[in-house]
Structure 1
């Protein structure tokens, strides 16, 4: 069951809500956040709202009305059924012309919640396309997601649930909807933001919590070929995202791989810390 809030009140999930000329529909001019729902609350809501504002500013939009969004989140979660596991906030540039130019500042705001389960393990595949670390929207969580849709569709041909991308410099970057950590030589390494990857909330919390707990996790530039080591068993990897938390890779490019000891330790650490504070 999906619960939807739009323009100040709850709506039927099948009700037409967004106009045909909304810039989010015509050119993908918008930003969004997806977060885990646990015990009836949105996990790390404050951090997600801060990133939503950063993404909007990066697109040249006005910062979204945080109080309005929080009201929408509260309204949705107040009636959400127990199986609700995911909440999404979408903000678009609102009505606009049939082209890339904007002619107003009336934003469209929509909050929706529905079922989801956390992936305890992940299966990934490499794809031939790259992430452009010099893109105008690099590091922003925008609704222009067609590139990710195409890459993920290709990865599913290997039985994968995520696609892994290099950047234009041949460095390991990220997944279509996740960050990656590689376990090698007694450390967990994750690409720096300069690689063009999204500043993932789960990634951010793992770096903070690992530092406090003494788990060796740090940023490091890695060649895309490090994934060869994962396939050959010389390294391990895990994906991080709001609907995965920390999810060790158990297959890469259609080949089964073992979950690493540090990846499993990071998964356990994240689950414990998440249970202690739902808005860290």
Structure 2
């Protein structure tokens, strides 16, 4: 992570922050965050990320003290981002990487990190998904529709990158990504009630509505149907779309080409919204 950060629009240094200013979020995980891709200094889908963050804060008004509304305004966040990039030569106005907005304790904290070093390799080679936990979630659990600072459940599974499912034997998501399956002539992702996070790339793809001739839709995906899947990918705002060349031990050679096609769709959508 880079040393330059911002708190409620004020450019600061990470090492100068006080833990007491973020105690609600640090000690209780009472807050929310969102991570967004930055290319050539421009944030992707920032308005969508901020809308989701504001929605999460509004859903738990008595549990999380939100920052002043003006610091979650898109124009204000863009200006703060611009000032951070210009203030730090290690970032610079052409920065490529990931921004993170964390909201708790009446503050919004903006931090930065570089793209993961394995990004290009994962885009070209994909990532196998060979682990699963079919009863990890409860169907309809509302907190899992929000990206909370209490992230240990997902963090503990991050290295394994297992398919997380509910008590009904249906797929929900990955620890840090939404998942899509090519099944029955469509590209299908589990519904929010599964539950899963309303990921920004997921939202964009559902709005686009199709990839090639295949419609993109929400639908429950039982683990028992994974044997019928012909391709698979997972999405998040940092990596966009990663193909799954092997799913629970079964090769899926179409996945890498499908993920490449999806990344192009997301890139085009980002260009329209900038």
- Quote the residue 2:263 is aligned against: 267
Q: Alignment partner for residue 101 of structure 2, among 89, 103, 108?
A: 89
Contact 2:38/2:98 (<8 A) preserved: yes
Q: Alignment partner for residue 246 of structure 1, among 214, 224, 241?
A: 241
1-structure distance, mates of 2:238, 2:44: 11
Matches within 5 A, 1:195-214: 195-211=194-210
- Return closer, same or farther for 1:123/1:19 CA change in 2, 3 Å cut-off: farther
- Quote the residue 1:122 is aligned against: 127
Matches within 5 A, 1:177-216: 177-211=176-210, 215-216=214-215
2-structure distance, mates of 1:172, 1:254: 17
- Return closer, same or farther for 1:7/1:50 CA change in 2, 3 Å cut-off: closer
Q: Alignment partner for residue 84 of structure 2, among 76, 80, 90?
A: 76
1-structure distance, mates of 2:252, 2:218: 23
Offset at residue 246 of structure 1 (A)? 1.9
Matches within 5 A, 1:1-280: 2=2, 3-19=4-20, 22-60=23-61, 61=64, 64-69=67-72, 70=77, 71-79=79-87, 80-81=91-92, 82-92=94-104, 94=105, 107-117=106-116, 118=119, 119-120=122-123, 121-128=126-133, 130-153=136-159, 155=160, 162-211=161-210, 215-230=214-229, 235-253=230-248, 257-260=252-255, 262-274=258-270, 276-279=271-274
Per-residue CA shift, 1:53-106, capped at 9, x if unaligned? 1111222246543532414333324443345310000011x2xxxxxxxxxxxx
- Return closer, same or farther for 1:178/1:37 CA change in 2, 3 Å cut-off: same
- Return closer, same or farther for 1:77/1:169 CA change in 2, 3 Å cut-off: farther
SS of 1:194's equivalent? coil
> Which range moves more in the overlay, 131-140 or 76-85?
76-85
> Which range moves more in the overlay, 163-172 or 123-132?
123-132
> Which range moves more in the overlay, 3-12 or 192-201?
3-12
Q: What is the root-mean-square deviation in Å for CA atoms of aligned residues? A: 2.6
2-structure distance, mates of 1:172, 1:218: 15
Structure-2-length-normalised TM-score = 0.81
SS of 2:81's equivalent? helix
Contact 1:53/1:64 (<8 A) preserved: no
Contact 1:84/1:113 (<8 A) preserved: no
2-structure distance, mates of 1:268, 1:21: 38
Offset at residue 149 of structure 1 (A)? 1.3
Aligned pair count reads: 254
1-structure distance, mates of 2:29, 2:46: 24
Question: Structure 1: where are the runs of 5+ without partners?
Answer: 95-106, 156-161
Question: Structure 2: where are the runs of 5+ without partners?
Answer: none
Offset at residue 248 of structure 1 (A)? 1.2
SS of 1:195's equivalent? coil
